[in-house]
Amino acid sequence: MGRLIIASNRTATPGEPKAGGLAVALWDALTERGGGLWFGWSGEISEREHRGIRLSTEDAVEFALADLTEREHDGYYLGYANRALWPVCHYRIDLARFDDEHFECYTQVNRRFGGLLHGLLRPGDEVWVHDYHFLLLGQELRNAGWRGPIGFFLHIPFPAPEVFTALPQHQRIARGLAEFDLLGFQTVRDTRNFVRYMVEHHDATDLGDGRLEVFDRIIRTAAFPIGIDAAEIAYFATSENGRSDASRLGKIIESRALVLGVDRMDYSKGLPQRLQAFGRLLDDHQDLCGHVTFVQIAPPSREDVGAYQDLREELDRLAGSINSSYSDLDWTPIRYLARGYPRETLAGLYRMARVGLVTPLYDGMNLVAKEYVAAQDPEDPGVLVLSEFAGAAEQLGAALIVNPYDITAMAEAIHRGLTMPKEERCARWRELNEAVTRGDIGRWRRDFLAALDAVGGGRPPLRGIRSA
Ligand code: ADQ
């Protein structure tokens, strides 16, 4: 079997411990094959138009990293990926900014990176491209002459065609996507959206079994719901560090019930609605005042994108307003921590939380939902309140499923979670934990690679590949 080549915008850091489910999973995928190559952006912005790649080797894995210039970082990364693709794929056309120059820059970076990567490929290699930064990378590899298998996994949602077509460049993106042999999505819903988009807008023929004939090629599509390392989270939750950090919070909230939210600060995560729902809970159930504390952990991300600055201000205002209405001498209802924490600490906090609030307005999967489940005490588990618009809801139907736009319903779900009898909590948790353990990160990786291996041999001839 040839080498596995992974291409992702950000990679694990060469020479440093691989932290977080995805970094570990991809690292394992590479080492399991006895070595491979991980290609991506170095995270560096190089002012002097540094055009080459830096190679380093760890165990049998080679890292090949390229810098971006300031202009590329602005146009490709902040501009097109984060201001156009991210909002559109999360159903926020209102926040999208469409700028032809940004798209030009996005195609140039995909072309430059495609050329760099192509120079590193050998016959027999298998390429696995990740996420919305590299939608055109497959096409650029084809243009450079690569005929071997290329798989693609989209970590964020593929929206309904009616929304995706708002992207002024959607036709060119579709043409690029059709150069992958296998396209993997988080959910059945995303996969269906993609198939419908290709059929309705590009005359694709649905051949069944996830196969599509489009642009003179046959491509495969399937859902591969990403998972977590459930055993690791369960271990962290009871580890020395996990417990001691959780007990620091425990001293502050004392015997009060903990409602917990953990997210990157992003407008897709539904944070304002979540704070409002907690405020509504206190309005409607005043007996809870003094007996429940909501801790929201949300480190700022992408602070150089305007919509994120607005979000931070809104959250500060909402938390301040609810706290000023309800705080007492010895109780602050909402503790809002705008920073990240180590995974052990998060696991300890998950285990302590009576209710885990995971209520994104839209989300590819949402790994926090699965981590919350894996961290629970089987004898006395907490309750997961989960948005119907998180990809995770397709697998975690035993959670309390809510519409994150319905503030009253969310408040009632939190109340139900806080008052749920132990027997029901245990029964729901067993079902959730079974789903989380069965569909863990190892399964995701193995399923995707098995499907990619399967397409490896039987690719149809390629015709008419054009530049994006
Ligand atoms: P993200 O949008 O980043 O990922 P998510 O899946 O919820 O979202 O979280 C990723 C990881 O970040 C989790 O392991 C979580 O523990 C960690 N994390 C979140 N908040 C944190 C905090 N405050 N401190 C420390 N760690 C924190 C994208 C898609 C998701 C998809 C993933 C994986 O948007 O939908 O699930 O990729 O495919």
Encode pLDDT of 200-209 as tens digits: 999 999 999 9
133 is catalytic: no
Query: pTM value?
Result: 0.95
Which burial class, exposed, middle or buried, applies to 186 when counting CB atoms under 10 A from its CB (0-12, 13-18, 19+)? buried
Ligand 1, atom 9: closest residue by C-alpha:
367
Residue 443 pLDDT greater than 90, yes or no: yes
Ligand 1, atom 3: closest residue by C-alpha:
264
pLDDT tens for each residue of 351-374: 999 999 999 999 999 999 999 999
pLDDT tens for each residue of 395-442: 999 999 999 999 999 999 999 999 999 999 999 999 999 999 999 999
pLDDT tens for each residue of 172-221: 999 999 999 999 999 999 999 999 999 999 999 999 999 999 999 999 99
Ligand 1, atom 26: closest residue by C-alpha:
340
- Calculate how far, in angstroms, residue 365's C-alpha sits from the geometric centre of ligand 1: 9
Q: Mean pLDDT, to the nearest integer, of 443-460?
A: 83
The pLDDT of residue 152 is 98
Q: Mean pLDDT, to the nearest integer, of 151-170?
A: 98
Q: Mean pLDDT, to the nearest integer, of 434-458?
A: 90
Which element (helix H / strand E) includes 298?
none
The pLDDT of residue 3 is 93
Task: Evaluate: CB of 340 within 6 angstroms of ligand 1.
Answer: yes
Amino acid at 348: G
Task: Evaluate: CB of 25 within 6 angstroms of ligand 1.
Answer: no
4-227+443-455: CATH, from 3.40.50.2000, 3.40.605.10, 1.10.10.10, 1.20.140.10? 3.40.50.2000
Q: Which tops the pLDDT comparison, 297 or 33?
A: 297
pLDDT tens for each residue of 37-58: 999 999 999 876 567 899 999 9
pLDDT tens for each residue of 275-289: 999 999 999 999 999
Q: How many CB atoms lie within 10 A of CB 332?
A: 16
Task: Evaluate: CB of 10 within 6 angstroms of ligand 1.
Answer: no
Residue 297 CA: nearest ligand 1 atom is: 23
Strand order in the sheet with 126-130: 53-58, 61-68, 36-45, 4-10, 126-130, 150-153, 182-185, 217-223, 211-214, 205-208
Q: Ligand 1 pocket test: pick from 185, 366, 440 the residue with the most ligand atoms within 8 Å of its Cβ.
A: 366
Amino acid at 239: S
Q: What is the DSSP letter of 82?
A: I
* Matching fold, domains 4-227+443-455 and 230-437: yes
Q: Return d(Cα 387, Cα 248) in angstroms, integer.
A: 29
Per-domain residue ranges of the chain? 4-227+443-455, 230-437
Q: Ligand 1 pocket test: pick from 245, 337, 359, 368 the residue with the most ligand atoms within 8 Å of its Cβ.
A: 368
Q: Mean pLDDT, to the nearest integer, of 321-347?
A: 93
Q: Ligand 1 pocket test: pick from 224, 264, 350, 361 the residue with the most ligand atoms within 8 Å of its Cβ.
A: 264
Q: Return d(Cα 236, Cα 352) in angstroms, integer.
A: 13
The pLDDT of residue 423 is 98
Q: Mean pLDDT, to the nearest integer, of 9-29?
A: 83
Which CATH code fits 230-437?
Answer: 3.40.50.2000
In percent, the amount of the chain with pLDDT more than 70 equals: 96
Task: Evaluate: CB of 366 within 6 angstroms of ligand 1.
Answer: yes
CB 75 within 8 A of CB 104: yes
Active-site residue, from 50, 99, 118, 155: 155
Helices (H) and strands (E) in the chain, counts: 17, 16
- Calculate how far, in angstroms, residue 264's C-alpha sits from the geometric centre of ligand 1: 7
- Calculate how far, in angstroms, residue 296's C-alpha sits from the geometric centre of ligand 1: 14
- Calculate how far, in angstroms, residue 230's C-alpha sits from the geometric centre of ligand 1: 15
Task: Evaluate: CB of 308 within 6 angstroms of ligand 1.
Answer: no
CB 214 within 8 A of CB 203: yes
363 is catalytic: yes
Q: What's the pLDDT band for 467 if we cut at 50, 70, 90?
A: very low
The pLDDT of residue 49 is 58
- Calculate how far, in angstroms, residue 462's C-alpha sits from the geometric centre of ligand 1: 37
- Calculate how far, in angstroms, residue 369's C-alpha sits from the geometric centre of ligand 1: 10
Token pair 């390429």 is found at: 127
The pLDDT of residue 113 is 97
The pLDDT of residue 466 is 38
Q: What is the DSSP letter of 331?
A: B
Residue 453 pLDDT greater than 60, yes or no: yes
Least confident range of 334-343, 356-365, 380-389: 334-343
The pLDDT of residue 50 is 62
CB 65 within 8 A of CB 46: no
Q: What's the pLDDT band for 308 if we cut at 50, 70, 90?
A: confident
Q: What is the mean pLDDT of the chain?
A: 93
- Calculate how far, in angstroms, residue 186's C-alpha sits from the geometric centre of ligand 1: 14
Task: Evaluate: CB of 26 within 6 angstroms of ligand 1.
Answer: no
Which element (helix H / strand E) includes 249?
helix 240-253
